[in-house]
Amino acid sequence: MTYSEQELAEGCRKNSRKHQQALYQCYAGKLFALCLRYAGDRMQAEDFLQEGFIRIFHKMDQFKGDGSLEGWMKRIMVNTALQHLRREKSLPKIGDIDDAAPVAEHGADALDQMAADEVIELIEKLPNGYRLVFNMYVIEEYSHKEIANELGISEGTSKSQLARAKAVLQKLLKKNERIQDKQIAG
């Protein structure tokens, strides 16, 4: 049986195992992909996912239905991952740099032509601090102010880390294009 977001939320508020299982089955894949972006490995991502779902079920009464259930759950998962990383003291140290490095805008065409798994693979090659800010800003749509608050850095540092992440991604894209060109030519 397929449930609407509202039905899932209401059932989970009542601690219905059937609704909790349906919610998990419906969103676990997407949320696991999100956890992988923050985790060092698959096992750590699974820990984030499990802990995040426990929090989701415990906090379901706080979901008011103003936005999407999926968006609300993503926020909880990101916060869970960040708290977990802080506890383990493996949250990347991000220097307090206020000047954002200028970033060229080319490379978007190559990005559009790549498969999602190839893009994720490139993002995973970013240094931890860059990857964290990039994920939060570009993928999770946090503002620089929210990122600064979550990570304990300045907004300028968040902007700088994002700019540097984009610059590194552009270099990786160019390298990837050269490899593909050689494969086609050779």
pLDDT in the model for residue 18: 96
Tell me whether residue 95 is in a domain. Answer: no
Same-domain check for residues 75 and 114: no
Identify the three-state secondary structure at position 75.
helix
pLDDT in the model for residue 48: 94
pLDDT in the model for residue 107: 43
For residue 10, give the CATH number of its domain: 1.10.1740.10
Domain end residue (candidates: 87, 122, 138): 87
For 81, residues 6+ apart whose C-beta sits below 8 A from its C-beta are: 35, 38, 39, 48, 52
Rounded to whole angstroms, the Cα distance separating 127 from 85 reads: 15
For residue 173, give the CATH number of its domain: 1.10.10.10
Tell me whether residue 22 is in a domain. Answer: yes
- Residues of the chain falling short of pLDDT 70: 89-117, 180-182, 185-186
* Total count of domains within the chain: 2
Tell me whether residue 131 is in a domain. Answer: yes
Same-domain check for residues 81 and 112: no
Same-domain check for residues 54 and 127: no
pLDDT in the model for residue 115: 61
Same-domain check for residues 82 and 121: no
Reported as a single tens digit per residue, the pLDDT across 95-135 is 443 333 333 344 444 444 456 667 777 888 888 889 889 98
Rounded to whole angstroms, the Cα distance separating 133 from 79 reads: 13
Containing structural domain, residue 145? 108-185
Query: What stretches of 60-140 show up as alpha helix (H) in DSSP?
Result: 69-87, 108-113, 116-124, 128-134
